A and B are shown apart, each in its own frame.
Chain A
Amino acid sequence: MDLSFGPEYEDFRAELRSFIEKNKHKAPPPGMGMHHPGPQEQDWQKLLIEHGYTCRTIPKEYGGYGGEADILKTVIIQDEFARANVNSGLSGQGIGMLVPTLLERGTDKQKEQYIRPTIWGEIYWCQGYSEPGAGSDLASLRTNARVEDGHFIINGQKIWTSSAHFSDMCFILVRTEPDKPKHEGISYILMDMKTPGIEVRPLVTMTGAAEFNETFLTDVKVPVENVVGKRGEGWLVANTTLKHERGMLGDPSQLLGRIESIVKILQNETLDGKPLMQHPMYRDRLVAAQAKTEALKYHSLRLLTHTLNNEDPGVSRLIIKYYGTTLSRELSDIALEALGELGSLYDGSPHVRSHGSWQWRNMFDLGLIIGGGTSQIQKNIISERGLGMPREPKLAETK
């Protein structure tokens, strides 16, 4: 057991810390930002790239830093920005999913055209995967494209397209080979969101905000050279990206921060004149959740070690999404129930606590349990790939 990072990395950490200290006044506020990156975000992003604090491994010729992959540096960067509560650069599906996919599968022209403006925050992307009839079973998607004089003509409907209303481009999965088996008939296409025939309707969720959209596509014309990989290989291309998805190591720092917030609530809020912390029922639940959160923290270090040693951590990694999202919801449950009636206040009501953010969090946590592979899909993955249990046989064709 050696939990030190060693001198090279501690130097890197010290440099990064002083960079953050010196430059943080230029940083836009942290957070996802449900809007197109503006000039301040773009400038901050370029400064971070220049120093190798984001887009580290993206080649220089495409506007990145061009550094070697180094997971310890990645972890240190994540830690230090979180610790300072300073914006760590742009995220989103363009940078997180499309760019790694293009690097691996795109043509030179596609890389040239899209990577630099994407990582610099000039082109913002949304992801066109899910459909009303294709959620957990994504490969059954029905949005289709036929080819007519050098163009795909796309028709269909996508759902859960977050950010579609301000995105410049969409990477979309469509069925181009209707006669092939379902996984072999899909293509991965880059679509300009200004193309005629695209209608984006906000999808208001239970939180009251429009975090997602429905996107309707009617005879949308996209040049055939905008396919990534070959026609019919879209499923494969989309899966390239899965291994790049964030959160593969688990990110307990957010949850640890939320534990601290709940400690403050329990110390500062009173029930029957006594601080909540003096009521054992809330305290007990808090410590139980803290144990799981601390466990996740050390679990992430264990996974990191496996990654450094090029070992497959097997089931230990597969549990992360299920465990983390379940725990996150447990935390917001505790905060809400400790606050009692006050916890139910929302929308700037008198007496509302933290602007109702725990209610928002609690609802959004449920969204996270469902999105990105539901907990039930996760349990299938854990048991099948992690424990070697067989898939459920398909239903025989019924009349």
Chain B
Amino acid sequence: MEFGLSPDQKLLQDSVRRYTEAQLPLDRIREYANTKTGFHTGIWNGLVELAATGVLVPEQYGGAGFKMLDAVVILEALGRTVAPVPFIGSAIMAPAAFLAGGTEIQKEEWLPQIASGEVKFGVGVTECISTRDSKGVTLSGDALSGNAMFVIDGGPADVFLIAAGPDNMAIVPRNAPGVTVTKLTTIDYSRMHTEVKLENVKADLLGGKGKAGAAIKQTILAGRLALAADTLGAAEVMIYKAVDYAKERKQFERVIASYQAVKHMCAEMIAELDPFRSLVWYAAHAYDEVPGEALLNVLLAKSGIDGAGKFIIRTATEVHGGMGFTDLMGLHYWYKRVSVNRSLLGTPEMLRNEAAIAQGWLAA
């Protein structure tokens, strides 16, 4: 019985955290974010060197062949430092898609390039969850047309995986004829998502025509878990920033950390967040080892931590007082990361509705 990180996972956590924390002090978080590209070559190459980009890619395809819980450890470190990299799209969702539904040829072509970081993927599955502005991509014959919204990490991507309906997913190079990419700037400058417009685009279909249903589900599952892990890291940093600030800041001749009003806010934040760390870990464990429990636990983990995150970004900012509201303090980078994570791949209410359906509590 050992519920927690293994010694190897703790080493991985140490090395990734040491790297990201050294490379991403606040001034660089600010500098990189303000490029509004969602990408920094140096950080990306560093992650390649740590073998992080190949975390989910099996060894036979040139990756590290690790498990989802290892990926969660990396994702948390990236969330902690608001890292400007397309990790969720390229290193989590894309390999999940290929492993769940790619043909052998597709896996051999793309997985090694994902692991080596040479090719970065953006993933468009939003319309499989919820449609806005009547967007979406359809496949007719062998040509794709339409608009995919909120293609995750599409900004720096070289290739897209775009869902067309519930059963098809296309592998679309950014420079293919008929592809138009539009940046969608969110409040979070550390990552860049895009709209991808396809006009009569002929593309390779993941697993063949009509064969990507399971892969799309697995891609969404992996993406949601990744977002939850990212929020876990970013939200926890905000709590400890608030605690540290409160221990320094003096008002009425005492540090504000000695006021119960402030202490109780901090206690509430950690109490809201910490049990969800355990649930995120279990969901990651289930992803690999107990597949039948993965869907429900991922839905509960993301919706739960989104809720905790909403409370924490507000409360941690309030503990900082007026300074929390300034750019100088920089707390807003974490705030925005957590806030955008909440809106991606299903908001809490949508996820909870799905969880009720997944448990057979009502007809789908």
With A and B bound together, what is the CA distance between A5 and B2 in angstroms?
9
Nearest CB of A to B115, in Å:
23
Nearest CB of B to A368, in Å:
16
The interface residues of chain A lying within 8 Å CB-to-CB of B247 are 388-390
Residue A204 lies at the interface, judged by CB distance under 8 Å to chain B: no
Residue B279 lies at the interface, judged by CB distance under 8 Å to chain A: yes
With A and B bound together, what is the CA distance between A389 and B261 in angstroms?
12
Q: What 0/1 pattern do residues 330 to 344 of B give for CB contact below 8 A with A?
A: 000000000000000
CB pair A382 B303 closer than 8 Å: no
Nearest CB of B to A75, in Å:
9
CB pair A292 B260 closer than 8 Å: no
CB pair A387 B281 closer than 8 Å: no
CB pair A277 B361 closer than 8 Å: yes
With A and B bound together, what is the CA distance between A291 and B303 in angstroms?
8
- Chain B, interface residues (CB within 8 Å), range: 35 or more
Residue B352 lies at the interface, judged by CB distance under 8 Å to chain A: yes
CB pair B258 A6 closer than 8 Å: no
From A4, A9, A323, residue with most partner B Cβ within 10 Å: A323
Determine which of B2, B255, B348, B361 lies in contact with A263 in the assembled complex, contact meaning CB atoms within 8 Å.
B361
The stretch among A27-35, A97-105, A164-172, A301-309 that forms the contact with chain B is A301-309
- Chain A, interface residues (CB within 8 Å), range: 35 or more
With A and B bound together, what is the CA distance between A5 and B307 in angstroms?
33
CB pair B278 A389 closer than 8 Å: no
Nearest CB of B to A257, in Å:
16
With A and B bound together, what is the CA distance between A393 and B257 in angstroms?
11
Residue A79 lies at the interface, judged by CB distance under 8 Å to chain B: no
Q: A389-B258, A391-B258 are in contact. Are A383 and B266 (CB under 8 A)?
A: yes
Residue B214 lies at the interface, judged by CB distance under 8 Å to chain A: no
With A and B bound together, what is the CA distance between A179 and B301 in angstroms?
55
The stretch among A182-190, A280-288, A359-367 that forms the contact with chain B is A280-288
From B3, B279, B303, B361, residue with most partner A Cβ within 10 Å: B3
Which residue of chain B has the shortest Cβ distance to A71 in the bound complex? B1
Residue A66 lies at the interface, judged by CB distance under 8 Å to chain B: no
CB pair A299 B274 closer than 8 Å: yes
Residue A110 lies at the interface, judged by CB distance under 8 Å to chain B: no
Residue A271 lies at the interface, judged by CB distance under 8 Å to chain B: no
With A and B bound together, what is the CA distance between A387 and B269 in angstroms?
11
Residue A218 lies at the interface, judged by CB distance under 8 Å to chain B: no
With A and B bound together, what is the CA distance between A3 and B267 in angstroms?
29
Kindly count the residue-residue contacts between A and B in the assembled complex, taking CB atoms under 8 Å apart: 161
Determine which of A266, A287, A384 lies in contact with B300 in the assembled complex, contact meaning CB atoms within 8 Å.
A287
From A267, A315, A319, residue with most partner B Cβ within 10 Å: A319
With A and B bound together, what is the CA distance between A384 and B262 in angstroms?
12
Residue B268 lies at the interface, judged by CB distance under 8 Å to chain A: yes
The interface residues of chain A lying within 8 Å CB-to-CB of B353 are 280, 283-284, 287
CB pair B264 A383 closer than 8 Å: yes
CB pair A376 B260 closer than 8 Å: yes
The interface residues of chain A lying within 8 Å CB-to-CB of B260 are 376, 379-380, 392
The interface residues of chain B lying within 8 Å CB-to-CB of A391 are 258
With A and B bound together, what is the CA distance between A304 and B3 in angstroms?
8
The interface residues of chain B lying within 8 Å CB-to-CB of A380 are 260, 263-264, 267
Q: A287-B303, A316-B274, A389-B246 are in contact. Are A278 and B362 (CB under 8 A)?
A: yes
Residue B52 lies at the interface, judged by CB distance under 8 Å to chain A: no
Which residue of chain B has the shortest Cβ distance to A390 in the bound complex? B258
With A and B bound together, what is the CA distance between A292 and B71 in angstroms?
23
Nearest CB of A to B209, in Å:
36
Residue A1 lies at the interface, judged by CB distance under 8 Å to chain B: yes
Q: What 0/1 pattern do residues 123 to 164 of B give for CB contact below 8 A with A?
A: 000000000000000000000000000000000000000000
Which residue of chain B has the shortest Cβ distance to A301 in the bound complex? B3
Determine which of B69, B254, B275, B352 lies in contact with A296 in the assembled complex, contact meaning CB atoms within 8 Å.
B275
Residue A210 lies at the interface, judged by CB distance under 8 Å to chain B: no
Residue B191 lies at the interface, judged by CB distance under 8 Å to chain A: no
Residue B276 lies at the interface, judged by CB distance under 8 Å to chain A: yes
The interface residues of chain A lying within 8 Å CB-to-CB of B362 are 277-278, 283
Q: A315-B274, A322-B267, A379-B264 are in contact. Are A390 and B349 (CB under 8 A)?
A: no
Nearest CB of A to B5, in Å:
8
Residue A84 lies at the interface, judged by CB distance under 8 Å to chain B: no
Nearest CB of B to A53, in Å:
20
Residue B270 lies at the interface, judged by CB distance under 8 Å to chain A: yes
Residue A290 lies at the interface, judged by CB distance under 8 Å to chain B: yes
The interface residues of chain A lying within 8 Å CB-to-CB of B262 are 389
Q: A291-B279, A389-B258, A392-B260 are in contact. Are A298 and B3 (CB under 8 A)?
A: yes
Which residue of chain B has the shortest Cβ distance to A288 in the bound complex? B352
Binding site for B on A (CB under 8 A): 1-6, 9, 72, 263, 266-267, 277-278, 280, 283-284, 286-288, 290-292, 294-296, 298-299, 301-302, 304-306, 308, 315-316, 319, 322-323, 376, 378-380, 382-384, 386-393
Known contacts A379-B260, A379-B268, then 10 further A-B pairs from the complex at CB < 8 Å, ordered by chain A residue: A1-B2, A1-B69, A267-B361, A288-B304, A291-B304, A291-B352, A295-B301, A319-B267, A384-B263, A390-B258
Cβ contacts A to B, 19 pairs, < 8 Å: A3-B285, A266-B361, A280-B353, A284-B352, A287-B352, A287-B356, A288-B307, A288-B352, A291-B301, A295-B300, A299-B274, A306-B4, A315-B274, A380-B263, A387-B263, A388-B247, A389-B243, A390-B257, A393-B258
